[in-house]
């Protein structure tokens, strides 16, 4: 029989590792998108310079040779950014929720008793968890609809449901973490004992 406190710590470690993993995936995705945008903007700028009257008059052969290499904006760059940003945003939500890093305005609650503050925090966590679960559910339904319709993007023509699936997976993890946080807050309020959660929000 595993002691309750040990099982709670183990669960928190697992949730923490899962949130860290998705934060890492979100960071890698975001960095890749930044590189992609920079390369695309650089290619677009170089393409404009190579097409300029100055280079076409001075060294038309050299300019045309570089243009023949395909120098220009990356095809479908905005489609990739659109899909990747959705995943990155949802991938950062688990660690943000677990650490209580959401922005909060405590002008009216900072002077309230601790019991009232904990209750209000619990209510907000429950509402947030419910919202994430609902969003994940409807996003999954949207992905299923895109899969059945066979819709693809305009330029790259990759199935739209791919981005829906990736975003749904990340949002489902965020919903799982949010439910865990809500349950942990409920236990804290019910027992009056602090739990393993850290952070009460980024105050503004």
Is the CB of residue 101 less than 8 Å from the CB of residue 199? yes
CA–CA gap between residue 34 and residue 57 (Å, rounded): 34
Q: Work out the number of other CB atoms within 10 angstroms of the CB of residue 200.
A: 15
Token couple for 32: 């890749």
Residue-level pLDDT at 134: 97
Distance CA 99, CA 94 (A): 9
Predicted confidence (pLDDT) at residue 1 exceeds the cutoff of 60: no
Q: In terms of pLDDT, which residue wins out, 5 or 67?
A: 67
Comparing CA positions, the residue from 8, 21, 185, 151 lying closest to residue 95 is: 21
Alpha carbon 166 to its chain centroid, in Å, reads: 10
DSSP-derived secondary structure for 44-113: HHHHHHHTSHHHHHH-HHHHHHHHHTT-SSPTTHHHHHHHHHHHHHHHHHHHHHHTT-SEE--TTTTTS-
Q: Where are the domains of the chain?
A: 4-24+79-203
What's the pLDDT at 106? Answer: 62
Overall average pLDDT of the 140-147 stretch: 96
187: CB partners within 8 A, 6+ apart: 193, 195
Which of residues 132 and 50 earns the better pLDDT score?
A: 132
Tokens representing residue 106 in the block:
């405590």
Q: What is the C-alpha separation between 90 and 172, in angstroms, rounded?
A: 9
- List CB contacts of 30: < 8 A, sequence separation 6 or more: 84, 85, 88
User: Quick one: average pLDDT of 61-75?
Assistant: 81
List pLDDT tens digits, range 72-126: 888 989 999 999 999 999 999 999 999 887 666 565 666 667 677 788 888 989 9
For the residues 36-58, what does the mean pLDDT come to? 87
| Residue 179 to residue 11: CA distance in whole angstroms | 13
pLDDT digits (tens, 9 = 90+) for 157-199: 999 999 999 999 999 999 999 999 999 888 888 887 766 665 5
Is residue 2 very low, low, confident or very high in pLDDT (cuts 50, 70, 90)?
very low
pLDDT for res 67: 76
């Amino acid at each position: 029989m595993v002691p309750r406190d040990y099982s709670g710590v183990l669960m928190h470690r697992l949730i923490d590792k899962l949130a860290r993993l998705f934060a890492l995936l979100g960071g890698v995705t975001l960095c890749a998108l930044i590189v992609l945008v920079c390369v695309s903007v650089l290619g677009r700028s170089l393409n404009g310079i190579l097409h300029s009257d100055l280079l076409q008059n001075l060294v038309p052969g050299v300019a045309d040779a570089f243009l023949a290499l395909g120098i220009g904006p990356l095809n479908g760059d905005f489609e990739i950014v659109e899909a990747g940003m959705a995943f990155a945003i949802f991938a950062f939500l688990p660690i943000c929720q677990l650490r209580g890093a959401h922005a909060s305005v405590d002008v009216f609650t900072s002077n309230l008793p601790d019991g009232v503050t904990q209750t209000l925090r619990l209510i907000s966590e429950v509402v947030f968890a419910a919202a994430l679960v609902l969003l994940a559910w409807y996003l999954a339904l949207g992905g299923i609809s895109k899969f059945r319709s066979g819709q693809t993007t305009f330029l790259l023509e990759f199935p739209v449901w791919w981005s829906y699936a990736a975003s749904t997976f990340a949002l489902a993890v965020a919903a799982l973490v949010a439910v865990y946080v809500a349950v942990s807050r409920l236990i804290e309020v019910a027992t009056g004992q602090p739990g393993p959660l850290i952070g009460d929000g980024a105050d503004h």
